[in-house]
Amino acid sequence: MQSPQPEPFETLIPARLDRLPWSPFHWLFIIGLGVTWVLDGLEVTIMGAVSAELERPDVLHLSAAKIGFISSCYLAGAVLGSLAFGHLTDRFGRRKFFFLTLLIYLTGVGLTALSWNLASFSVFRFVTGAGIGGEYSAVNSAIDELVPARVRGRVALLINGSFWLGAMVGSACTVVILDPAIFPPNLGWRLGFGIGPVIGLAIIYLRRFIPESPRWLMTHGRLAEAEMIIRKIEASSFKRQSPNDLPVELLLTIHPRSRFGLQVAARAILTEYRARAYLGFGLMAAQAFAYNAIFFTYALVLHRYYFVPPQRAGLYLLPFALGNFCGPLFLGRFFDTIGRRPLIAASFAASGMILMLTGWLFANQALTTFSQVALWTVMFFFASAAASSAYLTVSELFPLELRAIAIAIFYAAGTAVGGMVGPWFFGFLIDTGSRRMLFLGYAISAGLMIAAAALELLLGVDAERRSLEEIAPPLSSRRLDQ
């Protein structure tokens, strides 16, 4: 016998969240969730930097193609993890999975440090990927639902871009851990991966203070809990003056239900929001191919074609990471002022054109180590903003009840098509030793980025400074028979 559905009610919770002034709560929120991206950037950069070291006979003696395969295993885990945890996050809430996915991720990183062959390395990277895939769903859902609409774009880009702060730290660390005068070759890279679980303990502590999303609680009929959370946030935010009353037209009618199911999600995404689905997939696939293909083979290219010693690869990753962080930092505010559509399209197009130029110069041996890194740095200044905006797009253009699973679906589809193939494909091209063959890979990546820019101009949504409920009304704002 089915339990009766809660009665419909009217609420101002979304409007109250959007009118909040910036406060210490928001800083705690950004640090507690954004630190995960810093940690992910740290260990992914270490993975990229040690790739040439792993080829050594006295380490693991892996070929470029095998290193690319390991990276693909990481991405495969991220795909499956995002799908599984995305569904669970929409059903059981955001906050529970802040902890579970982080624990899985840290376990995978710690075990990676103990890898002894290709099989063990691949399995442990798969586990790491599963954890970070779940983080993408839970964290990006919470970002959108707790941050005021007027700054949602810049905050989302900044948090996703904080990955590159970790990358800068990782780059600096590799100079030490990969120096054979300090650590033996088969120990240094293991220490790099061992850093993650230690830092992760502080993240778990910070997340204890981040509440469940009031928007999620609202749609699941838990209005009392949602009211309690938002009153606490308002009390800490409006210390000097009481908030003004909100107009009655902002009232939202909710028909709560306990679950919606994958069938409901699939029907909404593939019918009512089909154009947005095409857009989300196109943006995610393009940035995933370009990023994963180039980033995971960065050290290999420097080593094979510019004869950069593996222990110095981290130094060349520093400007690359700096460019990636500065892109979302300096361009983020324009996504909320000038608008989503022009900035997303411009970011994808600029990065694609610079990558095409860089690839052509590389193929014609017209670059030095310095100019190659400099062009990559400029290219990823724009590509980083583009990649972060892709995550923002798939997280804000679908109804609240489907937010985590929508992020998961498009992250998984984009990564499966663009990301899992990219590292292996570029590893194969590098193994040929041909600059022309590698240029083919760069040209494909550039073409995908430019095509994504055109898709944004055609199908993009002007979501800047608009409430989530205005962009995509919650499914629970409709009667159960609709």
Domains within the chain, CATH numbers bracketed: 11-242+257-477 (1.20.1250.20)
Residue 378 has pLDDT above 80, yes or no: yes
pLDDT category of residue 262 using cuts at 50, 70 and 90: low
- Pairing label, strands 252-254, 9-11: antiparallel
Residue with tokens 């699939």: 266
Least confident segment among 64-73, 166-175, 308-317: 308-317
- For residue 6, give the DSSP letter: P
More confident residue, 268 or 3: 268
1 has pLDDT over 50: no
Q: Is residue 96 very low, low, confident or very high in pLDDT (cuts 50, 70, 90)?
A: confident
Give me the pLDDT at residue 189, please. 77
The full DSSP string for 15-47 is HHHHTPPP-HHHHHHHHHHHHHHHHHHHHHHHH
In SS3 terms, 245-301 reads as CCCHHHCEEECCCCCCHHHHHHHHHHHHCHHHHHHHHHHHHHHHHHHHHHHCCHHHH
The pTM of this model reads: 0.84
- Using DSSP, state whether 312 is helix, strand or coil: helix
Tell me: the pLDDT tens digits for 331-351?
Answer: 999 999 999 999 999 999 999
477 — pLDDT class (breaks 50, 70, 90): confident
| Greater model confidence, 55 or 462 | 462
157-175 tens-digit pLDDT: 988 888 888 888 877 777 7
Show contacts of 201-207: CB within 8 Å, 24+ apart. Answer: 202/35, 203/32, 203/35, 203/36, 203/39, 203/102, 204/99, 204/102, 204/103, 206/28, 206/31, 206/32, 206/35, 207/32, 207/33, 207/98, 207/99, 207/102
User: Does residue 3 surpass a pLDDT of 70?
Assistant: no
> For residue 384, what pLDDT is reported?
93
CA distance 321 to 325: 6
Residue 213, phi then psi, degrees to nearest 5? -65, 120
Q: 382-419 as b/e, with b when 16 or more CB fall inside 10 Å?
A: bbbbbbbbbbbbbbbbbbbbbbbbbbbbbbbbbbbbbb
Which of 289-298, 314-323, 434-443 is modeled with the greatest confidence?
434-443
- How many other CB atoms sit within 10 Å of the CB of residue 175? 17
Asked whether the beta carbons of 463 and 330 are under 8 A apart, the reply is no
